[in-house]
Structure 1
């Protein structure tokens, strides 16, 4: 999660913002259209949340930071919702314990949807009243909701996977990975001084700022993501049993968890299968390996005699792939899977967290997490960009994460 950097909307953007608000909010409800109330209440582990909670929390965001702050006389829809659906904003007040969100059978899904519709009605009226000075806050709320739309699907997938029936989600194009475009080998990138990050006045999250210069030595980036076939070779070669491939923390994590293959791989007899929201199907070896922890990605890179890219290398390569001399050379930079980097999630030089509660959930998480770049096939359309910095803990596997390799070029 991140906070928006400054953006100055104009009166001409009022209608566009209203349309975007309606589209984003409606898409969240489209995602739950195949689900039952029981589906929306599942929480398979403390690091995921029920779908119902996501629907309420994203609504809480608009009620808390827009309506309660900027609409005179507005009264909260329900006095306890400020507590129940606050994620981790200490400046707002205490939060209901995350591991216990599955216990919230009340409010019902119907009640949560009524909450959404009430807040939507108020926000639409707010936007129609020429509140252009607050459109940056609305834009932040919409991007926040798009992040949760991706989390809804990733959390639902983990929750469904706990069921030996391997439930099938009802929207057929969701979580249905396509085979990789076969771009073999590595692309060379020259070293030098490059500018990364952004100071643009269009929307961005605050952790993407400020733009700054960084020096890179010449490097290579693999033209494609690592496939299931390539990762299966690592599994079959005993990659999970070779301590020298693993970081110390990763090896300790491996001994504790006894993990020996990617999340959602299921072996039945001699055959491998993979679970997606479309059910359990034979492992497609031509698809990108996914749901890989940073520890696994790092070990695989070591096994291949490579490394993971830094986030600066990834960003420079993406710039040159889209706008420079390396156009179209790198496949799947923004689809299939988020790509682990070897960069710790830290503030850029000159970064300052915004004041107030909305500034809480970014800067305070810049510790013990790793940066991922790009996007995945669950990321809402037009949500990703070159400077986008995602971040997760190195042991996390439930996000849709994959591997792109890097190498040094000896000058």
Structure 2
């Protein structure tokens, strides 16, 4: 138990009601969140296994062990609840994970054995310091109720719910570790294999036409992530869906029918994944054929698909031998089931855990008209719930006795009929496993981000992420809430299952299916634009909606053409004038010229100009098309924009001094600089998110320069958002050239105290 800074526990507490809670309740919830996460890692037999990569597209487990503590510190710094860091090296190294763009992405450099991670003892020491710090913050910070998203306490709640998200992340990764490297911790209890009644036919249950409204009220007294807020109301046509999640027993029929060998059952993307992964059955099924594993780094050659009589046990609460009455012994012996820490005889009545591609292939195999439910239909299946205006008791996670396999009641799935159905006749609408739905992930109407975590959801509003709903057995806190909306790429593994659905009208053209599909083009640096696929029958009428990520909507070919003209079509463009003034400001205010960062570098003109004055320049841009153009120009490649005009870079630029990065926020890797120039506040989704860290990336005796074209960002407005360590020393209006003749830029200069 060397990694514990608290107490081993697998019992999850109810979240605090933010309208009535006390400091003691918040403190208990924090301790419980922290302890649960650390206790999960007791399942590793040796500290050396923290440095293994159980999934080739994720980082070693040491990252996730440290990451949650680091996020507390980073968010508390942004909120102003703390003013000094604990360990900047850790708070940079463990700040950001990886988000693979596809199932065949190359491994991140931090996954390999050559990357130097700190010793577990150092991470434990760091976690202990963070634990003590947060307890002190809770004690010392005045608590004003209700706690809302405008309260500094929101940062504390964000850290706790983020830690609980990682219960799910880390548990999936540990479940993919070689079985020889894990052990079941004391107190971990798997669910029963069978319920009192056997699971028989998975019949289709009919739901009538229903009006539903999605979205969490902003005044609901619990923490919520940005994508939960806003509102969408729609009419859901009648449909049918399976009363149970699809079981392992049902999915076996698909496997035995050659489902993984039949290209016609899969989407184009799904079949490419099958071939790449060489998949023959679900990820957590185990056979004895040495199937290809998804592990990474030095585990890349490992196969989960090996077992003998000694490695499979029925003494862990699953009583696997009882299944022989329902499934022939010969069939049962083919597949076992990997749980968190054991390989056991298959639990045929448990839900099949698969990714979106596998779920869609099963639907196609079932026959014409079968599909996954859509988000609005999932809300119909939940039946009547107390109105949100009733407060916390209207949310399942706040109920004293939760009628679902949620909140860590068990350390695994359970039979699909163990818990009672909703009044509409559907089982496991909440809990057991998450459920894939057809909708692309997107914000609801009125979506806006929170400055503490501006890019929590919005980068996933790209048409490449599908929503998952309902929570799993290990979902706690916000993740187990009725309002929870999460999403993953379609190849992603989670404790996630599915049920099948179908519409009741034969003429699908008459059905307005309330599935929300993102139709905004998203440019991915290094890949270009990839079409957003809608994996539904073409006859369905679905809702094609814009991404609610403002950056994706801004980052168009038209925008690129326009900015290239504005930046390079005029000698004294906005970017050129502002960058040149930065050089004179440094001279006037005696600021060093070793390093500058330009936030909002667009197609690079400002960063190119800064290279005349600074030894090192970092150009940061959110938009893929814009940063791609900057990189091409830096490398000497040719760019032609409107009316066939060519861009020719000035020979006075020091191109080798410049580094361009696409970033959606200001991570710690940006470090601090003599000059911080920011020019894109007019086009970011949450300006405050870009302003609150300016003081920390400005060196002592350095300066921040904020420039805007519309005059909106004047000294008075900026002062509200900037840290007190930045003092405004000058404000001026300066002319620049653009296509309309002459414009006026508002520039404010802020010195670090």
Please report the TM-score for the alignment, with normalisation by the length of structure 2. Answer: 0.48
Aligned 8 A contact 1:176 1:278 in 2: no
User: Residue 127 in 1 paired to residue 162 in 2?
Assistant: no
Instruction: Report the alpha carbon displacement of residue 10 of structure 1 after superposing the two structures with TM.
Output: 5.4
User: Residue 358 in 1 paired to residue 446 in 2?
Assistant: no
Matched with 2:715 is none
Q: 1:265 aligns with which of 269, 280, 285?
A: 285
Q: Which has a greater percent of helix? A: 1
Q: Per the alignment, do residues 309 and 265 of structure 1 end up closer, same or farther by CA in structure 2, a change over 3 Å counting?
A: same
Aligned 8 A contact 1:308 1:404 in 2: yes
CA distance in 2, matches of 1:275, 1:320: 36
User: Residue 327 in 1 paired to residue 423 in 2?
Assistant: yes
Aligned 8 A contact 1:177 1:336 in 2: no
Instruction: Report the alpha carbon displacement of residue 350 of structure 1 after superposing the two structures with TM.
Output: 2.4
1:13-58 Cα shifts (integer Å, max 9, x gaps): 3222122111111221222234331232221334333332222111
Q: Per the alignment, do residues 178 and 385 of structure 1 end up closer, same or farther by CA in structure 2, a change over 3 Å counting?
A: farther
Q: 1:138 aligns with which of 152, 156, 159?
A: 156
SS class of match (1:86) = coil
Q: Per the alignment, do residues 319 and 30 of structure 1 end up closer, same or farther by CA in structure 2, a change over 3 Å counting?
A: same
SS class of match (1:225) = coil
Matched with 2:268 is 248
1:267-322 Cα shifts (integer Å, max 9, x gaps): 238622222223222222222211x1101101101212321000111122124389
SS class of match (1:271) = coil
Larger Cα-atom Rg: 2
SS class of match (1:213) = strand
Q: 2:70 aligns with which of 46, 56, 60?
A: 60
Matched with 2:487 is 391
Instruction: Report the alpha carbon displacement of residue 232 of structure 1 after superposing the two structures with TM.
Output: 0.6
Q: 2:127 aligns with which of 105, 116, 119?
A: 116
Please report the TM-score for the alignment, with normalisation by the length of structure 1. Answer: 0.86
- Which one is further off, 318-327 or 401-410? 318-327
Q: 2:253 aligns with which of 233, 236, 244?
A: 233
CA distance in 2, matches of 1:239, 1:72: 55
Instruction: Report the alpha carbon displacement of residue 383 of structure 1 after superposing the two structures with TM.
Output: 3.8
Q: Per the alignment, do residues 73 and 66 of structure 1 end up closer, same or farther by CA in structure 2, a change over 3 Å counting?
A: closer
CA RMSD of aligned residues (A): 2.9
User: Residue 304 in 1 paired to residue 366 in 2?
Assistant: yes
CA distance in 1, matches of 2:385, 2:352: 22
CA distance in 2, matches of 1:195, 1:37: 48
1:350-377 Cα shifts (integer Å, max 9, x gaps): 21223x3511121112121111111112
CA distance in 1, matches of 2:190, 2:440: 28
Matched with 1:339 is 435
Matched with 2:166 is 148
SS class of match (1:159) = coil
Aligned 8 A contact 2:184 2:341 in 1: yes
Q: Which has a greater percent of strand? A: 2
CA distance in 1, matches of 2:485, 2:192: 23
Q: 2:184 aligns with which of 160, 169, 176?
A: 169
- Which one is further off, 14-23 or 64-73? 64-73
Matches within 5 A, 1:267-282: 267-268=287-288, 271-282=334-345
CA distance in 2, matches of 1:102, 1:150: 24
CA distance in 1, matches of 2:256, 2:39: 41
User: Residue 408 in 1 paired to residue 503 in 2?
Assistant: yes
SS class of match (1:60) = helix
Q: Per the alignment, do residues 209 and 277 of structure 1 end up closer, same or farther by CA in structure 2, a change over 3 Å counting?
A: same
CA distance in 2, matches of 1:88, 1:267: 31
Unaligned stretches of 5+ residues in structure 1: 1-6, 90-96
Aligned 8 A contact 1:338 1:372 in 2: yes
SS class of match (2:376) = helix
Q: Per the alignment, do residues 12 and 274 of structure 1 end up closer, same or farther by CA in structure 2, a change over 3 Å counting?
A: closer
Aligned 8 A contact 2:55 2:173 in 1: no
Q: 1:44 aligns with which of 54, 57, 62?
A: 54
Instruction: Report the alpha carbon displacement of residue 179 of structure 1 after superposing the two structures with TM.
Output: 3.9
Q: Per the alignment, do residues 166 and 20 of structure 1 end up closer, same or farther by CA in structure 2, a change over 3 Å counting?
A: closer
CA distance in 2, matches of 1:322, 1:262: 37
Matched with 2:301 is none
CA distance in 2, matches of 1:363, 1:283: 39
SS class of match (1:320) = coil
Matched with 2:472 is 376
Q: How many residues align?
A: 391
Instruction: Report the alpha carbon displacement of residue 79 of structure 1 after superposing the two structures with TM.
Output: 2.4
1:112-166 Cα shifts (integer Å, max 9, x gaps): 11111111111111111234332222111111100001211111111235xxx47
Q: Per the alignment, do residues 257 and 391 of structure 1 end up closer, same or farther by CA in structure 2, a change over 3 Å counting?
A: same
CA distance in 2, matches of 1:53, 1:216: 43
Q: Per the alignment, do residues 72 and 308 of structure 1 end up closer, same or farther by CA in structure 2, a change over 3 Å counting?
A: closer
SS class of match (1:221) = strand
CA distance in 1, matches of 2:474, 2:446: 32
Q: Per the alignment, do residues 47 and 41 of structure 1 end up closer, same or farther by CA in structure 2, a change over 3 Å counting?
A: same
